[in-house]
Amino acid sequence: MRGHAVRAARKRVARQLCLLVAALALTVPVGLAAAPPAAAAAVGFPAVHVRTANLALSGQITGADEKIDITGSLSVTVVTRTNPGGGGTARIISALGPTTGVGRTTGGRYLFVGADSNVVAWPPDPVAPLIASPAFLQINPYVPPHPIVPPHPISFLKVGVVVSSDGEIDDIVALLNLIEDPDNP
C-alpha cells in the first residue's frame, strides 16, 4: 500500500516539474524578444513595429458619375522597419470593411470593396507624417436599362501615419478626399 502512495507522489512531482519547465520555456523566448529597439539596433538588427487601427469613414466624395455620401470602415495595419543608418520603411496595409455610398443626384447605392498595400520610406531626419493613397473598387449601381458596369478603381482617401525616428508608430488617421478625376487615382 505504501508503494502506491510513493509512486503517486513521484508522478505528482514529475507532473509539476514538467509544468514548471513548460512555463519557463514559454517565458524565456518572450523575454528575449522584448529587447529594447535601441539595443537591437546597436547590434545591427532593424527594429520592427506593428500597429493596427480600425477607423470609421463618413463624408462625401466625387465618384465616377456623381457626388456620393459614403459611410463605412477601414482597417489599417502599419509595419515599420528601421534601417541601421537611420530612417526606414513603412508598409501601410489598408482594407475596407463594409463601406457603402448613396448618390446625391440619382439616389443610387454604391459599394466600395478591396484592400491595398503601400510602402513608404522615411529619412533619418525628423519625420513628417507618412501619406499613402490606397486604391479600392467602386461598384456602380445597376439601374435598368443601363448595362452592368464592372468595378471602377478609385482612390478616395488618404491614410496618414505618424512615425518617430526610431520607427515607433504614434498615430494612424484616414481622411476622405474630394476626387476631381476618379480615373486617375
Sheet harboring 130-132: ordered strands across?
A: 130-132, 157-163, 169-176
Q: What is the pLDDT of residues 84-139, one digit of tens each?
A: 888 899 999 999 999 999 988 888 888 899 999 999 998 887 677 899 999 998 88
* pLDDT tier, 72 (very low <50, low <70, confident <90, very high otherwise): very high
Any idea where the domains of the chain sit in the sequence?
1-34, 46-176
Which residue has 489599417 as its cell numbers? 76
The mean predicted confidence, pLDDT, of the chain is 75
Residue 8 is predicted with a pLDDT of 58
Cα separation, 154 vs 114, in Å, equals 10
Residue 4 is predicted with a pLDDT of 54
| Residues shown for the chain | 185
Cα separation, 101 vs 98, in Å, equals 10
Residue 152 is predicted with a pLDDT of 75
Residue 122 is predicted with a pLDDT of 86
Which residue has 498615430 as its cell numbers? 171
Please state which of the ranges 41-45, 110-114, 134-138, 155-159 shows the lowest mean pLDDT. 41-45
Residues near 12 by beta carbon (within 8 Å), at least 6 away in sequence: none
Is residue 156 over pLDDT 60? yes
Q: What percent of the chain clears pLDDT 90, i.e. is strictly above it?
A: 33
In degrees, rounded to 5, the angle at the alpha carbon of residue 155 between the alpha carbons of residues 120 and 70 is: 125
Q: What percent of the chain clears pLDDT 70, i.e. is strictly above it?
A: 64
Which segments within 4-96 are labelled E, that is strand?
A: 48-62, 67-82, 88-96
Q: Which of 23-37, 54-68, 133-147 has the highest mean pLDDT?
A: 54-68
Q: How far is CA 172 from the centre of its chain?
A: 9
Please state which of the ranges 26-30, 47-51, 135-139 shows the lowest mean pLDDT. 26-30
